[in-house]
Every structure is written in structure tokens, then in C-alpha cells.
Structure 1
Amino acid sequence: MSTKSTRAACGIRVVASSLPTREAVAAARLELAGEILQHIIVFFSNEHDPEILLDALKCDFNDTSVSGCSTSGEIGPLGMMKGGIVIIAFPENGFRLMSEVITDIDKGGVERASEIARRLRIQMIGSASRSAKEHVFALVLVDGLSNAEEALIAALDLSLNGIELVGGSAGDGLDFQDTVLIYRGNLVRRGAILFVIETELPVRIFKTQNFEPTPVKLVVTAADTANRIVYELNAEPAAAEYAAAIGLRPDELGPYTFASYPLVVKIGGNYYCRCIRTVNLDGSLSFFCAIDEGLVFTVARPRDMLRTTLEALEGVDAALGGTDFVLGFDCILRRLDAESRQVRHKVEEIYQRFGVAGFHTYGEQFNAMHLNQTLTGIAFATSIDKPREP
């Protein structure tokens, strides 16, 4: 099946298509015929030319605001896709959505981001009749090659002042060349899109990760922090030292290795991934997250992805009294790890059971944190009844 759609009880429609660009958009328009929409968010593979996609969206959805970003894989009614398009369509009724683009986040856009977040929060909460915790959330899409997520997310979280934040960093497969956002008829690079959304239904944000630390430590002893490059670990060439720590040769390193042997740091008593993106020709390592000299990495090993993912989604489902739909942001390294362990189809089954739709990212956002090798998301309840206390 090349195109498939679902409808959540809250009215959100999800359309996934593996057709060529213009045909995929036309098929989505047909699936959504008769719907009164206020905003659609599109997640698209880098196999789709963004200029052609933008033109097709303008033609077929000229009456609806459109946002979105490029991906490293798409998640929706057709499962975990490569080369596809997934559209999340918010209906006019039951939701109130405000959004704004933040440009040049790699060149001092953080102060502007704070102002935008503060303005959207005041506009939304000032007239909202429900509590922010249960019915209002913030969503952010970020250029995954901006190297600016940490400062951006911290600033947004502070200015949102209690509105919970979730999101993902745009990808481009595993090319690391050209990530792009779409916002209201324009292509945006090195930027971000912030949404503040009110819904009639209770919502919960969540995160889950599947690794545990080992005793092996690696200290960053030489780095280019601005570009997230580590030259030395334990005063040795970075790639060679990392390879030795996990029992491999440097020429055996690659994306599947990074997924199977993540590096983590301890913050506030918890461990968070700081994942490797690529091995460079000079033997250095480029990372998805911010790094600094003196940072102590711990080599980690994966836990059971199926069990940890299912536990997280079942926990949210129980807290909400039933899950209607989940907008999810899943690290590309989790997908690679699932493929290498031959459990991808079982992960797909879990996602479809809980109505997960979203994309594979270059990084995930969760309140004030920019994360790696994590699934973050926002879950919508099946009814307007007050959810159970966590």
C-alpha cells in the first residue's frame, strides 16, 4: 500500500505515503478531502526535493498553514519508512495552534527565541480556560545541523514558564549535508519552528531510552566545542580510543556501531546519551550533541528496546486512561539499533498499537534537555476526563 491514513478520536488525521513527491501530496489531499484543517505538519525524507515538495503543498493545501522538516526516516500508518512523507493534520475544532519561526539560531537567535516563546505563551495562556499542564504543550522542530539545540532549548523552556516542551531535530538520512524546515510557504535553514498548542484533551509528554552504563570511562582531552568535534579521548586519538574501548578497530566504526555502543554523560543523577555522528578523516569524532573538554563519557550498552519502549507507552496510556494518538520523535540511532538487532518490525507493531506518528531525528527535545538515542513524544488522551495523577 503506497498511501494510508488514520483518524484519531481527537480529530487529528495522519497520512503516510511512499509515492513520488507530487503524487504523495495529491494523495494526501485526497485522503483529507472534506476536512476543515487549521494546520498541517509534514515530515519528509531527503529523497524528496524540498522545492518541489513546497510547490506541491502550496498547490494542494493553499487554504491551510503548513510547517514541517526533513527527516532521517518517517513514522506513521505505513510503519517506519525510508523515503516517505508523513502528514499530521490538525483539525479546526478541538485545537488552538500558534506558531512562529526562529531564524539564524546558529548566529545569536537565542534571545529572539526567548521573546517568541514568551509572546506565544502569553497569547495562549492569557485566554486559555484550562491548566497548561493538562491541555497546553509546546512543540519545536529544529535544524539538526545548526549545532545550536542546547542553548535554544534551554532558552525556550525558561520562557515557556511551565508549558512542557517536546520536539525533534531535522535530519537528512545519514548524509549530514542539508537539513531543512518548511514554514508557511518558505524553506528555512539553520532555524527552528516553535508551536504552542491547546487541546480539549489531556496530554502527557514522555521520553524513553534503552541503555545502561558500563564501568568504562572516556575523558574529552581535546575538542572543537563550537563544531561538536572531539579530537582526543584520554589523550589519545578519539576514534582509535573509542574503538579500543568497545573492542573494535577504527575502520569498523560506523552508524550501527554508534547505536550499539552509545556514549553517555551523568547529569543530576541520570545518564543521557551524547551520540557520535561520524568518524572524520583525521580520526576525530563528530557528535550530535554539545561536547566540551573535560567532559567524562561513560560507554553504555543497550537494554531491551522493545521492553523499555512498551513500558513507557503503557505507562502514559495508563496515566491518561487511554491513549488516542502519539506524536513521536525517535532518534535515528534507535532505528539503526532496532535494525541491527532485527526487531524493527516489532518496534513498528508497538508504535502502531499506540498510534505513534512522527519522524527519526538527529536529536530529541524534552523540556530543557536536548537528547540523543531517545524517543520523546506527546500523547493525547482518548477522552476529556481528568487523567490520573502520575
Structure 2
Amino acid sequence: MLQVRQGYSNNPDMASAIEEVIHQIQQQQVKFVIFFSSMKYDFQQVSKEINAAFEAAEVIGSTSAGEIGKQGFSNESLVAMSISSSDWYASTAVIENIHSKPMLYRKNVIQAFEKTGLNRSDLNLSKKAFGILLVDGLQAAEEMVLSVIHSIFETDQFPLVGGSAGDDLKFTETYVSANGKVYHNAAVLTFVKTSHPFCTYRENIFEPTEHALLITKADIRGRIVYEMDGMPAAEAYASKLGIPTASLAEQMARYPIGRMYAKKIWISTPFKILEKGAIQFYSQIFPNTMVTILKPIDPVLAAAQTVKNIKDQLPEVKGVIGFNCIVRLLQFEKEKACEKVYKELSHLGEVVGFTTYGEQYGKVHINQTLTMLAFGE
């Protein structure tokens, strides 16, 4: 049997907040704990104390730009989830120096994977295991980390979800944690082997418009697009939207770029407009790629559809770990939709997660998305 418990506190006293959350998630035979913390608290101390309370479990966490828990979408809080089961085998790898040399830690990834007893060449691997990835959100290194992880597999489809750590919108430093130790310029990856049913899911709240653009000049590593359709990127983008280039910056989050692959949308959010009309994004876009400008849909209806789709795959769902983009949250707040969106998602059982600086799904780093891991009996 799989048991899930979640904890939440926004107590201004850090020691009390940690104690409250630990008490709420205590249960027998805990195998895995995940937590997300506002920078309001000392992340080193939070990590140390939660790990000490669950020494027999794998314990991972990150700093956040907002939390998701029993109080819905919150800020300046601490949330956590514990999972108890006799059939849940977890092992964690730390990938350091992600800004420049994450491949040096490939061996760590292999060792963590093999520790669970899994076989990398197993064609049915996607039904037996998954990965949860937390990444320092200010290194612009998610794609490199994902490349290291997926290089170890012979199969092309390994279920993985995750998010990029935040820091309450300070954009100064973000941190991840593995078994009580805190890391900067790093990622933590937990592999889980289980016979309990699970699924990964990716929700977006946008749909394609009729406006397509060809990326004609780009710096992949720098996530910069210099030209679209042979024109300065900002000029081409604004022209498709029918607005002056000077007005583009305030509209980009509402009309992000979608990379279309296998009839699915993978969102890249513009970060800022640079000199000579170049645009820097929060994720990589390759030259000679056709992209589509997206437009928003009702996020509450999207959340209801998400619940239906997950329950269709997993009728006995007990809980969800979710990674929700900060730009989505800002949209929810603007539209006064936070409470309604969370109310829909809460139909999936215990829901814990955080507001991210980017999301991971399979091999891809994306933006303005909610990536989710759902599990049950």
C-alpha cells in the first residue's frame, strides 16, 4: 500500500515551521520526502532538519518562487510530501558544476540509477521507473543537465519531470538539496523504481495562433534568437502580433513561442529584448526551427481537463508532485484564478509542488508549463 502525506507551514518562526511540517508528514516506512522552501527560511537548516527526521528515506528539495500545498498557491511558506510504501526504491544523484561541466557527473547518474536495481536497456523501463529533477534555476543549464541524464539510456522514452529552483523572485541565488546537503550550481535527480501505477503529465494553458515564424539566426547556448524570417527577431515577432516593436516586451508573456513537435506544444518564454532586436529566451530554440506564436486559454478549464486526463490514466490517483512556472502563477494572480485552478487540481488527492523558474519534462526544458508526476494504487 502506498501512503501519501503532505505538510505546510508559513509560521514566521523557522524552527516552528520546520517542526510543524515534519509532524504533518510523519508516518511509518517513509521512503521518499520532497520539500520546497521559501528563501524566507534558512535553506541549510531546513534541509538539515528534514533530512535528520527521515534518515531512512531519500530526501530532496529546493528553494522556490512560491509553494503549492494544502493552502493552494502560497508564498513565503514551507511545504513537503512524504511517501510510504514497501515497494518504492529511490536513489539520488547530484550533478554539480552544471553551468560548464555537468558531463563530469554522468557516472553519478549511472550509479544512482543502478542502485535501484533497474536495467538501462529495459524496453519496459517507462512502466517501472521515473525520475524527479530539481535544478539550480539561475544557471541556464537545464538542457545540458537533461542531455547528461538521457545519455545513459538506450531507450528513448524515460519518464522524468522536474522544476528549476526559485528564490522568491529575487533572481540572486537558488539552491537544491539532497539528503541534507545543500548545493548551488547543481542539480539533484532521484530515480524511483516501483510497481505502483504512476504517470507524468504536462499541462499548458496556450494554443497555437495562425502566426508561424522561422528561426533564421540563433545562439543556442545563450538562448538568444537574433532573427526570425530573416528580420530582427523583435521586429518579426511584433509584426505577426500586429503591434509596434516598442510594445512587444509587455505582450511576450501573454503570447509566448511554441515549438511544435509530434503535434504537441513545447513553450519557450521570451526573457528580454536585447540590442538590435534580438530576444533572449528562458529555454533553447534552434536555428531553422519553425515556431508558432501562442495565445492563452482559460486556465481553470485547462486544470479541469488535466484532472480528467490524469484520472483516465490513473483512476486510483493518490497524489501529485507539481512544478508550476512563475509566469503562469503571475497570470493566475492577474486573472484572480489561483484559488479556482488549485481547487480543480486538488481533486487529484494530495498535491504538493512549487513555483519554478522553468520546467523539465522528459528530455525537454520548457517554460510557462505545469509538469506533474501522479501516483496511486
Q: TM-score, normalised by structure 1?
A: 0.83
CA separation of 1:135 and 1:220: change in aligned 2, threshold 3 A = closer
Q: By how many angstroms is 1:273 displaced?
A: 0.9
Q: Distance in 1 between matches of 2:118 and 2:291?
A: 43
Q: By how many angstroms is 1:279 displaced?
A: 4.7
Decide whether the 8 Å contact of 2:58 with 2:90 is kept in 1.
no
Q: Distance in 2 between matches of 1:42 and 1:282?
A: 42
Aligned to 1:10: 2
Residue 348 (str. 1) matches residue 346 (str. 2): no
Q: Secondary structure at the match of 1:152?
A: helix
Q: Secondary structure at the match of 2:294?
A: strand
Q: Distance in 2 between matches of 1:262 and 1:276?
A: 7
CA separation of 1:329 and 1:37: change in aligned 2, threshold 3 A = same
Q: Distance in 2 between matches of 1:29 and 1:270?
A: 39
Aligned to 1:4: none
CA-atom RMSD in angstroms: 3.0
Q: Distance in 2 between matches of 1:50 and 1:236?
A: 45
CA separation of 1:317 and 1:304: change in aligned 2, threshold 3 A = same
Q: By how many angstroms is 1:81 displaced?
A: 1.0
Q: Distance in 2 between matches of 1:345 and 1:312?
A: 16
CA separation of 1:172 and 1:280: change in aligned 2, threshold 3 A = farther
Where do 1:300-379 residues align within 5 Å?
A: 300-355=294-349, 356-379=351-374
Please identify, of 80-89 and 280-289, the stretch whose mean Cα deviation from structure 2 is larger: 280-289
Q: Secondary structure at the match of 1:298?
A: strand
Q: Distance in 1 between matches of 2:316 and 2:51?
A: 36
Q: Distance in 1 between matches of 2:100 and 2:273?
A: 26
Task: State the one-letter code of the partner of 2:4.
Answer: I
CA separation of 1:24 and 1:286: change in aligned 2, threshold 3 A = farther
Q: By how many angstroms is 1:335 displaced?
A: 1.8
Aligned to 1:386: none
CA separation of 1:268 and 1:62: change in aligned 2, threshold 3 A = closer
Task: State the one-letter code of the partner of 1:335.
Answer: L
Aligned to 1:53: 46
Aligned to 1:121: 113
- 4+ long deviations beyond 6 Å: none
Please identify, of 98-107 and 177-186, the stretch whose mean Cα deviation from structure 2 is larger: 177-186
Q: Distance in 2 between matches of 1:149 and 1:243?
A: 28
Aligned to 2:169: 174
Decide whether the 8 Å contact of 1:259 with 1:336 is kept in 2.
no
Residue 143 (str. 1) matches residue 136 (str. 2): yes
Residue 109 (str. 1) matches residue 102 (str. 2): yes
Q: Which runs of 5+ in 1 are unaligned?
A: 1-8, 384-390
Q: Which runs of 5+ in 2 are unaligned?
A: none
Decide whether the 8 Å contact of 1:26 with 1:60 is kept in 2.
no
Q: By how many angstroms is 1:231 displaced?
A: 4.8
Q: Secondary structure at the match of 1:106?
A: coil
Q: Distance in 2 between matches of 1:69 and 1:174?
A: 14
Q: Distance in 1 between matches of 2:273 and 2:37?
A: 26
Q: Secondary structure at the match of 1:289?
A: coil
Please identify, of 186-195 and 169-178, the stretch whose mean Cα deviation from structure 2 is larger: 169-178
Where do 1:273-292 residues align within 5 Å?
A: 273-279=267-273, 284-292=278-286
Q: Deviations over 1:123-164 (max 9, x none)?
A: 32449xxx6443422111112222222232244234244542
Q: By how many angstroms is 1:336 displaced?
A: 2.1
Residue 270 (str. 1) matches residue 247 (str. 2): no
Q: Which of residues 5, 27, 35 in structure 2 aligns to 1:42?
A: 35
Q: By how many angstroms is 1:223 displaced?
A: 4.6
Q: Which of residues 89, 95, 107 in structure 2 aligns to 1:96?
A: 89
CA separation of 1:241 and 1:174: change in aligned 2, threshold 3 A = farther
Residue 209 (str. 1) matches residue 204 (str. 2): yes
Q: Distance in 1 between matches of 2:52 and 2:373?
A: 30
CA separation of 1:303 and 1:25: change in aligned 2, threshold 3 A = same
Q: Distance in 2 between matches of 1:238 and 1:163?
A: 34
Give the total of aligned pairs.
369
Query: Percent identity over the alignment?
Result: 27
Q: Distance in 2 between matches of 1:125 and 1:264?
A: 38
Q: Secondary structure at the match of 2:152?
A: helix
Q: Secondary structure at the match of 1:150?
A: helix
CA separation of 1:145 and 1:249: change in aligned 2, threshold 3 A = same
Decide whether the 8 Å contact of 1:167 with 1:329 is kept in 2.
yes
Q: By how many angstroms is 1:289 displaced?
A: 0.4
Q: Secondary structure at the match of 1:227?
A: coil
Where do 1:19-38 residues align within 5 Å?
A: 19-20=11-12, 21-33=14-26, 35-38=28-31
